[in-house]
Amino acid sequence: MTDVLVKCEQLVKEIYENMDASHDFQHIERVYANAMAILKTEPLANEKIVSLAVLLHDVSDAKYAEDKAQEERILDEIGITENEKSHIRTVIAEVSFNGGNVLEATTVESKIVRDADRLDAIGAVGIARTFSYGGAKGRKLYDDGEEARFNMTEEQYRTQSTATVTHFYEKLLLLKDLMVTAKGREMAEERHAFMVQFLEQLKKERDGIS
């Protein structure tokens, strides 16, 4: 790991330590591992940009950040060029789901980081993270009277919470078909199938069938 990456990691760790388990530094480590797996199949990608964008992509997340300038301060502090800063800002902006109001992934680096982040939102880890976040926010496990929303504004997505199981239908079960790299799509298949199986088992247990 280069000095720039080491410095960036040290700075972001302090921030992620204050987030709940759904967005802590272990999340960053898993996204990084996903990104490196995808990067191997994308030889034209810039590994430095991908790595720094992964480390920084949640430091100014609207769900947590009171100070949205943290990202900029770190970019200034780690000693990279203005072109690199601009590229990283673009990648981070193009990663977020925002209730389905996504920007187009315009570079291979954006595609890699987006898929890597979304892979950590599905499968066994995705299930654990979703219930962890729901618990931290005091959300119900499920609500049979609630309908999943598919045409939300970003503000509605951020401010109008739903039960945790509803979130699977509003976002997580959609992600497999939104992957933009071949490796991301491949990695998503098993994780998606596991979520479907989990929801089927959950329904059986709730209905007293299993």
Q: What is the mean pLDDT of residues 49-58?
A: 97
| Residue-wise pLDDT tens digits, 89-100 | 999 999 987 645
Q: What's the total number of domains in the chain?
A: 1
The terminus-to-terminus CA distance of the chain in angstroms comes to 49
Crossing angle of the two packed helices 182-206 and 25-39, in degrees rounded to 10: 130
Q: In this predicted structure, what is the pLDDT of residue 103? A: 80
Q: Do 195 and 126 meet the contact criterion of CB atoms below 8 Å apart? A: yes
Q: Do 64 and 70 meet the contact criterion of CB atoms below 8 Å apart? A: no
Whether 154 has a pLDDT exceeding 90, the answer reads no
Which pairs from 171-175 meet CB under 8 Å and 24+ separation? 171/97, 171/99, 171/100, 171/121, 172/121, 172/122, 172/126, 172/130, 174/100, 175/118, 175/121, 175/122
69 membership: H or E segment, kind and range: none
* List of residues 6+ apart from 178 with CB closer than 8 A: 102, 118
C-alpha 45: how far from its chain's center?
Answer: 20
Q: In this predicted structure, what is the pLDDT of residue 97? A: 74
CA distance 112 to 184: 8
HSE (side-chain half, CA atoms, 13 Å) at 23: 20
C-alpha 90: how far from its chain's center?
Answer: 16
| Residue-wise pLDDT tens digits, 74-124 | 999 999 999 999 999 999 999 987 645 578 999 999 999 999 999 999 999
Domain of residue 131 covers: 3-206
Structure tokens at 113: 């980081």
Local structure of 102: helix, strand or coil? coil
CA distance 156 to 101: 11
Looking up residue 106, the CATH number of its domain turns out to be 1.10.3210.50
Local structure of 11: helix, strand or coil? helix
pTM of the model: 0.91
